[in-house]
Amino acid sequence: MQDIKEIIVALSLQEYNNKTSCKALNKDDTFDFECSSCGGCCRNREVDILLNPFDLYRATNYIKSLNLDLQIGGLPVNMVSIESFINCFCDWYEGESSKLPIVTLDLSNAGTCPLLKDNRCQIQEAKPHICSLYPLGFLIDFETGEYSYYSKPTCGKGTLQKQTVKKWLKNAALLDYEDFIVMWHKQTHLICLWLKELDEWDRIKFIDFVFRTLYLNYDLNQDFLPQFERNCKTILDKLNRYCTMGYKVV
Ligand code: SF4
Ligand code: SF4
């Protein structure tokens, strides 16, 4: 099962350059890629597609604002909240080593994303970070706060188009994601440390609280980031109080 270890990238860029054949890219660097819109990356998937709270907030707002007529299993979807988005399109589980609640797209239909229709993503303009970024991946050096990208396309049209990283991020509406991604990895790292302090019984009591606070507790009419910061603080305060003072808080 995929875990937080696979979404936290904390190598130093120098270490990364030394270890792989991919060169770390800055925003003005170019890479070659042109998507052929085959939908291949949304089908027959063996690897989970993890969603963070900003992905969920953006996707739900997108569906609501456009009043999209989505269906699942032939039935219309009533999308009123992040919780309804998760109920319709996602699964969640406790990360095996991180102990963090992990949200993924529901791939139980032979590995096909439930948001794929006629080879097209139904939330194209608000698709998850990991989908929009492809073929780019990202690296964060937590020591220096340096943020960088790398590219390793394994698909696309034969005729390749040169792209700059900056333009790719802008077109995918991902320029405002960087601050959040750094914050997300830092905060989830802290939450994981506290969750691992708990014994299994206490963790079972906490996991639903952490899931609801981290992923669901957002007013879609308010800015996302302040709400995310508030939610992380709520979780960390409670875990801190419980682990250091033994308060029964759940
Ligand atoms: S969210 Fe969209 S782009 Fe991502 S896997 Fe699903 S259909 Fe594909
Ligand atoms: S990213 Fe690749 S697999 Fe996905 S739709 Fe584009 S060409 Fe196909």
- Asked whether residue 156 falls in the same domain as residue 186, the answer is no
The domain boundary residue, chosen from 175, 201, 230? 175
Dump pLDDT digits (tens) for 190-233: 999 999 888 888 888 899 999 999 999 999 999 999 999 999 99
- Asked whether residue 157 falls in the same domain as residue 170, the answer is yes
- Asked whether residue 209 falls in the same domain as residue 133, the answer is no
- Asked whether residue 28 falls in the same domain as residue 134, the answer is yes
Question: Which amino acid makes up residue 85?
Answer: F
Joined tokens for residue 182: 């750094």
- Asked whether residue 105 falls in the same domain as residue 210, the answer is no
- Asked whether residue 160 falls in the same domain as residue 183, the answer is no
CA 55 to ligand 2 center in whole angstroms: 20
pTM reported for the whole predicted model:
0.85
* Best residue among 117, 119, 127, 133 to mutate for probing ligand 1, ranked by most atoms within 8 Å of CB: 127
Dump pLDDT digits (tens) for 63-82: 887 766 666 656 566 667 89
* CA 2 – CA 180 distance, rounded (Å): 21
- Asked whether residue 199 falls in the same domain as residue 90, the answer is no
For ligand 1, is residue 42 a contact (CB within 6 Å)?
yes
- Asked whether residue 187 falls in the same domain as residue 160, the answer is no
For ligand 1, is residue 127 a contact (CB within 6 Å)?
yes
* CA 103 – CA 60 distance, rounded (Å): 14
CA 242 to ligand 1 center in whole angstroms: 39
Vertex 55: Cα angle to 226 and 198 (nearest 5): 70
What is the tally of structural domains in the chain? 2
- Asked whether residue 143 falls in the same domain as residue 92, the answer is yes
Q: Is residue 250 part of a domain?
A: no
CA 119 to ligand 1 center in whole angstroms: 10
* CA 121 – CA 66 distance, rounded (Å): 15
CA 74 to ligand 1 center in whole angstroms: 19
Residue 149 CA neighbour count, 13 Å, CB half: 25
Burial class (CB in 10 A: 0-12, 13-18, 19+), 63: buried
For the chain, how long is the longest CA-to-CA vector? 62
- Asked whether residue 141 falls in the same domain as residue 233, the answer is no
The domain boundary residue, chosen from 133, 151, 175? 175
Ligand 2: residue whose CA is nearest its atom 1: 35
How many CB atoms lie under 10 A from the CB of residue 238? 18
Query: Looking at residue 34, what is its pLDDT?
Result: 86
Ligand nearest to the backbone CA of 116: 1
- Asked whether residue 168 falls in the same domain as residue 183, the answer is no
Query: Looking at residue 115, what is its pLDDT?
Result: 92
Query: Looking at residue 56, what is its pLDDT?
Result: 96
Joined tokens for residue 214: 């981290």
Q: Is residue 157 part of a domain?
A: yes
Residues spanned by the domain of 133 = 4-175
- Asked whether residue 9 falls in the same domain as residue 47, the answer is yes
